[in-house]
Amino acid sequence: MNEYCTSTPAVRAASSLGIAMAHMHPYIAREPYKPHVEAVQILAILGECRNTIGVLEELLRQPEANHQNIKSGVLTLVNMLHSHQDKSYELFPNDHMACAALTKATMDYKQYVLSLPNALMTSTRAVPRPPSIQVHVTPNAQRLANLTARMLPAAHRGRYVEELQAELWDLASARATKSMQLLYAFQQLGRVWQLRRELLVPGRCRGEVLLRWASWVLESDVRTWIPLSAIVILALINVVIEQGWGSAFLAAPTAWVFHKGVQRLRTRWGIQPPDKDRARK
């Protein structure tokens, strides 16, 4: 941070201006030509200018420096230089060497003024910004998140738009890359139907009706075996008619397979047929 700030054009320009002003120093300080009191005044102005440049440099090095602070510091410096320039002309009307030094200082001053906008922009970039400015949420991820929310029931859309955007922001603030943000958005989109279902009928799983019906059937031997026996007998009759008794004999183990299947399902699902319970009692 500090290294970055010290290399900004504002600081470089300010430093070069300070050096140029220092060139003038010997001419200003030549006491035989000008009264000592005036030279002391100019030296004081030069010193003040250098101090202001130092303050500006220090300001640019600080993390809390903002655009307004920098601009204010630069303007103070410019005012001081104006004041110094005016006094120098008054003090050295016939001194060519002093005027040449003054011209050099003025040129540097112009260069400095021209470099101000760029310097300020660079300085602003160097200053740490509040999180809201630094965080970059990928627009495509935002669009996908909005699309996800749009597929939800109308009553919940607004909430999920904001919630998903907040999470995207959190991801971005944690320096998630574009692809990570997109992955997040795609993951949300991939689960949108599940979310929609949960919002419409909370706690209801896919195929729950079928599962509930199957367990109701398996809880009773009557409900289980009457339909199954009917299916097996009808199937066997069909085989006899179509293919003869031999095929029907070969298909007979189907009944055993059904029996085993039912037993297995009951064991897996922990169902004890109430008919059997009643018989035991």
Q: Which residue ranges make up the site for another protein (CB under 8 A)?
A: 130-133, 135, 159-160, 162-163, 165-167, 169-171, 173, 184, 186-191, 194-195, 197-199, 201-203, 205, 208, 211-212, 215, 268-271
* 81 vs 84: CA distance, rounded Å: 5
48/163 with CB nearer another protein: 163
Minimum distance, C-beta of residue 35 to another protein, in the bound complex (Å)? 59
Minimum distance, C-beta of residue 226 to another protein, in the bound complex (Å)? 22
Minimum distance, C-beta of residue 188 to another protein, in the bound complex (Å)? 5
Specify whether the CB–CB gap between 145 and 164 falls below 8 A. Answer: yes
20/171 with CB nearer another protein: 171
CA dihedral 229, 230, 236, 238 (to 10 degrees): -170
Minimum distance, C-beta of residue 54 to another protein, in the bound complex (Å)? 34
Sign of CA dihedral 167, 172, 176, 177: positive
Instruction: Let me know how long the chain is.
Output: 281
Specify whether the CB–CB gap between 87 and 45 falls below 8 A. Answer: yes
89/193 with CB nearer another protein: 193
Element (H, E) at 51: helix 36-61
114/201 with CB nearer another protein: 201
12/266 with CB nearer another protein: 266
Minimum distance, C-beta of residue 43 to another protein, in the bound complex (Å)? 48
Structure tokens at 130: 């509040």
Structure tokens at 43: 């030296």
Minimum distance, C-beta of residue 186 to another protein, in the bound complex (Å)? 8
159/260 with CB nearer another protein: 159
* 134 vs 108: CA distance, rounded Å: 35
78/183 with CB nearer another protein: 183
Minimum distance, C-beta of residue 164 to another protein, in the bound complex (Å)? 8
Q: How far is residue 68 from each of residues 50, 72, 75, 114, 279, measured CA to CA in Å?
A: 21, 6, 11, 18, 91
Structure tokens at 234: 């009808």
CA atoms within 13 A on the CB side of 261: 10
45/168 with CB nearer another protein: 168
Minimum distance, C-beta of residue 121 to another protein, in the bound complex (Å)? 22
Specify whether the CB–CB gap between 41 and 87 falls below 8 A. Answer: yes
* 7 vs 9: CA distance, rounded Å: 7
